[in-house]
Protein backbone atom coordinates (compact mmCIF):
# COMPACT_ATOMS: atom_id res chain seq x y z
CA UNK A 1 0.00 0.00 0.00
CA UNK A 2 1.37 3.45 -0.97
CA UNK A 3 1.61 5.93 1.87
CA UNK A 4 1.43 9.69 1.43
CA UNK A 5 4.84 11.40 1.48
CA UNK A 6 5.86 12.96 4.80
CA UNK A 7 6.20 16.38 3.17
CA UNK A 8 4.85 17.25 -0.26
CA UNK A 9 6.81 20.05 -1.93
CA UNK A 10 4.52 21.78 -4.44
CA UNK A 11 6.15 23.98 -7.06
CA UNK A 12 4.43 26.93 -8.67
CA UNK A 13 5.15 30.03 -10.70
CA UNK A 14 5.28 33.26 -8.75
CA UNK A 15 2.41 35.11 -10.43
CA UNK A 16 -0.69 35.89 -8.40
CA UNK A 17 -2.80 33.62 -10.62
CA UNK A 18 -0.36 30.71 -10.39
CA UNK A 19 -0.24 31.01 -6.61
CA UNK A 20 -4.04 31.20 -6.41
CA UNK A 21 -4.32 28.06 -8.54
CA UNK A 22 -1.78 26.29 -6.37
CA UNK A 23 -3.52 27.36 -3.18
CA UNK A 24 -6.76 25.82 -4.44
CA UNK A 25 -4.95 22.53 -5.13
CA UNK A 26 -3.24 22.56 -1.74
CA UNK A 27 -6.60 23.11 -0.04
CA UNK A 28 -8.14 20.09 -1.77
CA UNK A 29 -5.11 17.93 -0.98
CA UNK A 30 -5.33 18.87 2.70
CA UNK A 31 -9.03 18.04 2.73
CA UNK A 32 -8.21 14.60 1.30
CA UNK A 33 -5.23 13.99 3.62
CA UNK A 34 -5.53 15.94 6.86
CA UNK A 35 -2.09 14.83 8.14
CA UNK A 36 -0.26 15.71 4.94
CA UNK A 37 2.42 18.39 5.32
CA UNK A 38 2.68 20.61 2.26
CA UNK A 39 5.33 23.18 1.38
CA UNK A 40 4.84 25.60 -1.50
CA UNK A 41 7.97 26.38 -3.51
CA UNK A 42 7.90 29.38 -5.87
CA UNK A 43 9.97 29.03 -9.03
CA UNK A 44 10.48 31.86 -11.47
CA UNK A 45 10.13 30.74 -15.09
CA UNK A 46 11.49 32.11 -18.36
CA UNK A 47 7.93 33.00 -19.37
CA UNK A 48 7.58 35.19 -16.27
CA UNK A 49 10.92 36.86 -16.91
CA UNK A 50 10.30 37.53 -20.61
CA UNK A 51 6.57 38.28 -20.26
CA UNK A 52 5.76 36.40 -23.44
CA UNK A 53 3.61 33.41 -24.29
CA UNK A 54 5.73 30.72 -25.92
CA UNK A 55 4.85 27.03 -25.72
CA UNK A 56 6.60 25.62 -22.65
CA UNK A 57 7.93 28.97 -21.42
CA UNK A 58 5.88 28.80 -18.21
CA UNK A 59 6.62 25.15 -17.39
CA UNK A 60 10.23 24.34 -18.31
CA UNK A 61 11.87 25.40 -15.06
CA UNK A 62 9.18 23.68 -12.99
CA UNK A 63 9.79 20.45 -14.89
CA UNK A 64 13.55 20.77 -14.43
CA UNK A 65 13.05 21.27 -10.68
CA UNK A 66 10.96 18.09 -10.62
CA UNK A 67 13.64 16.10 -12.42
CA UNK A 68 16.31 17.42 -10.02
CA UNK A 69 14.18 16.36 -7.04
CA UNK A 70 13.81 19.91 -5.70
CA UNK A 71 10.00 19.67 -5.72
CA UNK A 72 7.57 16.75 -5.74
CA UNK A 73 4.68 18.30 -7.66
CA UNK A 74 4.40 21.07 -10.25
CA UNK A 75 1.09 22.87 -10.68
CA UNK A 76 0.60 24.03 -14.27
CA UNK A 77 -2.12 25.75 -16.21
CA UNK A 78 -2.77 22.79 -18.47
CA UNK A 79 -2.93 24.93 -21.61
CA UNK A 80 0.73 25.89 -21.00
CA UNK A 81 1.93 22.28 -21.15
CA UNK A 82 3.41 21.32 -24.53
CA UNK A 83 1.48 18.50 -26.19
CA UNK A 84 4.61 16.33 -26.08
CA UNK A 85 5.40 15.13 -22.55
CA UNK A 86 8.81 15.10 -20.85
CA UNK A 87 10.54 11.78 -20.20
CA UNK A 88 10.52 10.81 -16.54
CA UNK A 89 7.49 12.96 -15.71
CA UNK A 90 3.77 12.25 -15.67
CA UNK A 91 0.57 14.22 -15.20
CA UNK A 92 -0.74 12.37 -12.15
CA UNK A 93 -3.94 14.36 -11.71
CA UNK A 94 -6.22 16.85 -13.41
CA UNK A 95 -8.53 18.54 -10.87
CA UNK A 96 -12.06 19.69 -11.81
CA UNK A 97 -12.00 22.29 -14.56
CA UNK A 98 -12.98 25.91 -14.08
CA UNK A 99 -14.89 27.91 -16.71
CA UNK A 100 -13.10 27.37 -20.04
CA UNK A 101 -14.59 30.38 -21.84
CA UNK A 102 -12.92 33.63 -22.87
CA UNK A 103 -14.28 37.03 -21.88
CA UNK A 104 -13.85 40.53 -23.22
CA UNK A 105 -13.45 43.47 -20.86
CA UNK A 106 -14.01 47.00 -22.15
CA UNK A 107 -13.94 50.47 -20.62
CA UNK A 108 -16.65 52.32 -22.49
CA UNK A 109 -18.84 50.07 -24.60
CA UNK A 110 -19.76 46.39 -24.57
CA UNK A 111 -18.38 44.18 -27.36
CA UNK A 112 -21.18 44.83 -29.85
CA UNK A 113 -20.92 48.57 -29.23
CA UNK A 114 -17.15 48.93 -29.67
CA UNK A 115 -16.47 51.54 -32.36
CA UNK A 116 -14.99 50.54 -35.70
CA UNK A 117 -11.22 50.24 -35.43
CA UNK A 118 -11.29 49.83 -31.65
CA UNK A 119 -7.99 48.62 -30.18
CA UNK A 120 -8.43 45.21 -28.61
CA UNK A 121 -5.63 43.43 -26.75
CA UNK A 122 -5.30 39.68 -27.28
CA UNK A 123 -2.53 37.51 -25.87
CA UNK A 124 -2.62 34.75 -28.50
CA UNK A 125 -3.11 34.23 -32.22
CA UNK A 126 -6.02 31.94 -31.35
CA UNK A 127 -7.95 34.82 -29.75
CA UNK A 128 -6.84 37.28 -32.41
CA UNK A 129 -8.03 35.12 -35.31
CA UNK A 130 -11.41 34.45 -33.76
CA UNK A 131 -11.92 38.11 -32.88
CA UNK A 132 -11.19 38.99 -36.51
CA UNK A 133 -13.74 36.43 -37.63
CA UNK A 134 -16.37 38.06 -35.39
CA UNK A 135 -15.44 41.65 -36.26
CA UNK A 136 -12.95 42.26 -39.04
CA UNK A 137 -12.96 46.01 -38.32
CA UNK A 138 -11.21 45.69 -34.97
CA UNK A 139 -7.52 46.49 -34.53
CA UNK A 140 -6.06 43.51 -32.65
CA UNK A 141 -2.93 44.36 -30.65
CA UNK A 142 -0.49 42.14 -28.70
CA UNK A 143 -1.21 41.84 -24.98
CA UNK A 144 1.33 40.55 -22.45
CA UNK A 145 1.64 40.47 -18.69
CA UNK A 146 -0.29 38.85 -15.87
CA UNK A 147 -4.01 39.40 -15.34
CA UNK A 148 -3.53 42.44 -13.08
CA UNK A 149 -1.18 44.03 -15.63
CA UNK A 150 -3.57 43.43 -18.51
CA UNK A 151 -6.48 44.97 -16.62
CA UNK A 152 -4.31 47.95 -15.62
CA UNK A 153 -3.30 48.54 -19.26
CA UNK A 154 -6.98 48.53 -20.22
CA UNK A 155 -7.93 51.01 -17.51
CA UNK A 156 -5.01 53.29 -18.44
CA UNK A 157 -6.40 53.55 -21.96
CA UNK A 158 -3.75 51.53 -23.78
CA UNK A 159 -6.61 49.42 -25.16
CA UNK A 160 -10.33 49.86 -25.69
CA UNK A 161 -10.88 46.23 -24.68
CA UNK A 162 -8.90 43.13 -23.76
CA UNK A 163 -9.64 39.40 -23.96
CA UNK A 164 -8.88 37.21 -20.93
CA UNK A 165 -9.75 33.74 -19.66
CA UNK A 166 -12.80 33.57 -17.42
CA UNK A 167 -11.05 31.01 -15.20
CA UNK A 168 -8.22 33.40 -14.33
CA UNK A 169 -10.61 36.18 -13.35
CA UNK A 170 -12.58 33.78 -11.17
CA UNK A 171 -9.54 32.28 -9.45
CA UNK A 172 -8.20 35.75 -8.62
CA UNK A 173 -11.54 36.79 -7.13
CA UNK A 174 -12.36 39.44 -9.76
CA UNK A 175 -15.41 37.55 -10.90
CA UNK A 176 -17.95 35.33 -9.17
CA UNK A 177 -19.80 34.23 -12.28
CA UNK A 178 -19.17 35.14 -15.95
CA UNK A 179 -22.92 35.67 -16.37
CA UNK A 180 -22.48 39.15 -14.89
CA UNK A 181 -22.53 42.17 -17.24
CA UNK A 182 -19.85 44.16 -15.42
CA UNK A 183 -16.58 43.50 -13.64
CA UNK A 184 -16.49 45.60 -10.47
CA UNK A 185 -13.21 47.21 -9.46
CA UNK A 186 -12.16 47.63 -5.79
CA UNK A 187 -12.77 51.41 -5.77
CA UNK A 188 -16.29 51.04 -7.15
CA UNK A 189 -15.74 51.60 -10.87
CA UNK A 190 -16.59 48.90 -13.39
CA UNK A 191 -15.64 47.39 -16.73
CA UNK A 192 -18.06 46.00 -19.27
CA UNK A 193 -17.95 42.20 -19.45
CA UNK A 194 -18.81 40.09 -22.50
CA UNK A 195 -18.63 36.29 -22.25
CA UNK A 196 -17.91 34.57 -25.55
CA UNK A 197 -19.87 31.37 -25.99
CA UNK A 198 -18.07 28.44 -27.58
CA UNK A 199 -19.69 29.13 -30.96
CA UNK A 200 -18.05 32.59 -30.95
CA UNK A 201 -14.65 31.67 -29.55
CA UNK A 202 -13.25 28.21 -28.86
CA UNK A 203 -10.68 28.09 -26.05
CA UNK A 204 -7.13 26.82 -26.12
CA UNK A 205 -6.83 23.07 -25.51
CA UNK A 206 -6.89 22.58 -21.75
CA UNK A 207 -7.97 26.14 -20.92
CA UNK A 208 -9.45 26.42 -17.44
CA UNK A 209 -7.88 23.14 -16.30
CA UNK A 210 -4.84 22.48 -14.12
CA UNK A 211 -2.25 19.72 -14.43
CA UNK A 212 -0.45 18.21 -11.43
CA UNK A 213 2.82 16.83 -12.72
CA UNK A 214 5.31 14.70 -10.81
CA UNK A 215 8.09 12.17 -11.39
CA UNK A 216 6.82 9.04 -13.10
CA UNK A 217 8.58 6.74 -10.59
CA UNK A 218 7.29 8.56 -7.48
CA UNK A 219 4.49 6.18 -6.59
CA UNK A 220 3.73 7.79 -3.21
CA UNK A 221 3.15 11.19 -4.76
CA UNK A 222 1.17 9.74 -7.65
CA UNK A 223 -1.16 7.96 -5.22
CA UNK A 224 -1.57 11.15 -3.20
CA UNK A 225 -2.37 13.28 -6.25
CA UNK A 226 -4.83 10.83 -7.74
CA UNK A 227 -7.21 11.60 -4.87
CA UNK A 228 -7.91 14.97 -6.55
CA UNK A 229 -8.11 13.69 -10.13
CA UNK A 230 -11.39 14.44 -11.96
CA UNK A 231 -11.97 11.74 -14.61
CA UNK A 232 -14.38 13.79 -16.77
CA UNK A 233 -11.98 16.74 -16.95
CA UNK A 234 -9.04 14.44 -17.69
CA UNK A 235 -10.92 12.80 -20.57
CA UNK A 236 -11.96 16.17 -22.00
CA UNK A 237 -8.48 17.68 -21.96
CA UNK A 238 -6.97 14.43 -23.25
CA UNK A 239 -9.16 14.75 -26.35
CA UNK A 240 -8.32 18.44 -26.78
CA UNK A 241 -4.58 17.91 -26.42
CA UNK A 242 -4.74 14.93 -28.76
CA UNK A 243 -6.02 17.27 -31.48
CA UNK A 244 -3.17 19.69 -30.80
CA UNK A 245 -0.55 16.94 -30.82
CA UNK A 246 -1.88 15.33 -34.00
CA UNK A 247 -1.93 18.68 -35.79
CA UNK A 248 1.57 19.51 -34.59
CA UNK A 249 0.44 22.99 -33.61
CA UNK A 250 2.43 25.61 -31.72
CA UNK A 251 1.96 29.30 -31.06
CA UNK A 252 2.08 30.53 -34.66
CA UNK A 253 -1.06 28.85 -36.01
CA UNK A 254 -4.40 29.42 -34.27
CA UNK A 255 -5.66 26.07 -32.95
CA UNK A 256 -8.58 25.76 -30.54
CA UNK A 257 -10.40 22.78 -29.07
CA UNK A 258 -13.05 22.12 -26.46
CA UNK A 259 -14.54 18.83 -25.28
CA UNK A 260 -17.48 18.03 -23.04
CA UNK A 261 -18.05 14.69 -21.36
CA UNK A 262 -21.64 13.67 -20.69
CA UNK A 263 -21.83 10.26 -19.10
CA UNK A 264 -20.02 7.86 -21.40
CA UNK A 265 -20.11 10.23 -24.39
CA UNK A 266 -17.58 12.86 -25.43
CA UNK A 267 -18.32 15.80 -27.72
CA UNK A 268 -15.24 17.48 -29.20
CA UNK A 269 -15.04 20.62 -31.36
CA UNK A 270 -11.81 21.98 -32.82
CA UNK A 271 -10.69 24.83 -35.04
CA UNK A 272 -7.70 25.78 -37.16
CA UNK A 273 -7.48 29.27 -38.65
CA UNK A 274 -5.35 31.76 -40.50
CA UNK A 275 -3.91 34.31 -38.06
CA UNK A 276 -6.03 37.08 -39.60
CA UNK A 277 -9.19 35.03 -39.26
CA UNK A 278 -9.92 35.17 -43.02
CA UNK A 279 -9.94 31.37 -43.24
CA UNK A 280 -11.33 29.21 -40.45
CA UNK A 281 -11.75 25.44 -40.52
CA UNK A 282 -13.81 23.83 -37.78
CA UNK A 283 -15.37 20.43 -37.22
CA UNK A 284 -16.89 18.30 -34.47
CA UNK A 285 -16.80 14.65 -33.48
CA UNK A 286 -18.81 12.62 -30.97
CA UNK A 287 -17.92 9.25 -29.51
CA UNK A 288 -17.15 7.04 -26.55
CA UNK A 289 -15.42 9.06 -23.84
CA UNK A 290 -13.07 6.17 -23.10
CA UNK A 291 -11.61 6.74 -26.59
CA UNK A 292 -10.77 10.39 -25.92
CA UNK A 293 -7.26 10.31 -27.40
CA UNK A 294 -8.36 8.45 -30.52
CA UNK A 295 -11.27 10.85 -31.05
CA UNK A 296 -8.85 13.77 -30.95
CA UNK A 297 -6.64 12.10 -33.54
CA UNK A 298 -9.64 11.38 -35.77
CA UNK A 299 -10.84 14.96 -35.58
CA UNK A 300 -7.36 16.26 -36.39
CA UNK A 301 -7.32 14.03 -39.49
CA UNK A 302 -10.71 15.36 -40.56
CA UNK A 303 -9.52 18.94 -40.11
CA UNK A 304 -6.50 18.19 -42.29
CA UNK A 305 -8.70 16.79 -45.06
CA UNK A 306 -10.83 19.94 -44.85
CA UNK A 307 -7.78 22.13 -45.51
CA UNK A 308 -5.98 22.49 -42.20
CA UNK A 309 -2.83 20.94 -43.68
CA UNK A 310 -2.51 23.99 -45.93
CA UNK A 311 -2.86 26.36 -42.98
CA UNK A 312 -0.35 24.37 -40.94
CA UNK A 313 2.12 24.25 -43.83
CA UNK A 314 2.19 20.44 -43.83
CA UNK A 315 0.70 17.62 -45.86
CA UNK A 316 -1.95 15.23 -44.67
Q: Whole-model pTM?
A: 0.91
Q: In angstroms, rounded to a whole number, what is the distance separating the alpha carbons of residues 24 and 38? A: 13
CATH 3.40.190.10, the chain: domain bounds: 7-95+209-229, 102-195
Identify the pLDDT of residue 1. Answer: 45
Pair 162, 104: CB distance under 8 Å: yes
Name the CA dihedral angle for 10, 14, 16, 19, rounded to a multiple of 10 degrees: 0
CATH number of the domain at 239-308, out of 3.30.390.50, 3.30.160.40, 3.30.230.10, 3.90.420.10?
3.30.160.40
Is-contact 265 304, C-beta < 8 A? no
CATH for 7-95+209-229, options being 3.40.190.10, 3.40.190.290, 3.10.450.50, 3.40.50.2000? 3.40.190.10
- Class of domain 102-195 (CATH, top level): alpha beta
For residues 251-275, one letter each, b for 16 or more C-beta atoms within 10 angstroms of the residue's C-beta and e for the rest, the string is eebbbbbbbbbeeeebbbbbbbbbb
For the annotated catalytic residues, the residue numbers are: 80
Measured in whole angstroms, the distance separating CA 288 from the mean position of its chain's CA atoms is 24
Strand pairing partners for 184?
Answer: 190
d(CA 142, CA 98): 25
Integer Cα distance of 81 and 206 in angstroms = 9
How many alpha carbons fall within 13 Å on the CB side of residue 182?
A: 10
Looking at the chain, the domain(s) classified CATH 3.30.160.40 span 239-308
Q: What local confidence, expressed as pLDDT, does residue 312 receive?
A: 87
Instruction: Give the model's pLDDT for residue 33.
Output: 86
Query: What is the pLDDT tens value at each position of the chain, 316 positions in all?
Result: 455 567 999 999 999 999 999 999 999 999 988 889 999 999 986 655 445 555 556 899 999 999 999 999 999 999 999 888 899 999 999 999 999 999 999 998 889 999 999 999 999 999 999 999 999 999 999 999 999 999 999 999 999 999 999 999 999 988 877 676 888 776 767 899 999 999 999 999 999 999 999 999 999 999 999 999 999 999 999 999 999 999 986 557 899 999 999 999 999 999 999 988 889 999 999 999 999 999 999 999 999 999 999 888 854 4
Contacts of the segment 113-118: beta carbons below 8 A, 24+ positions apart: 114/138, 114/160, 114/161, 115/160, 118/160, 118/161
- State residue 2's pLDDT score: 53
Q: For residue 189, what pLDDT is reported?
A: 78
C-beta separation of 43 from 73 below 8 A = no
Note the pLDDT of residue 222. 97
Amino acid sequence: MNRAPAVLRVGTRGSALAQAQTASVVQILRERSADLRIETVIIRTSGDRQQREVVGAFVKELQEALLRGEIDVAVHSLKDLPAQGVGGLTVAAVPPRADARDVLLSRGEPFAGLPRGAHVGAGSVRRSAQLKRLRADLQILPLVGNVDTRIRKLREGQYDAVVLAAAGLQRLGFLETPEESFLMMPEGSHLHLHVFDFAQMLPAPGQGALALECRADDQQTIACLQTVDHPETRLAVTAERSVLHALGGGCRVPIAAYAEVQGSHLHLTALVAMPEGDMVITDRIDGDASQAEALGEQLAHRLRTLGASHLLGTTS
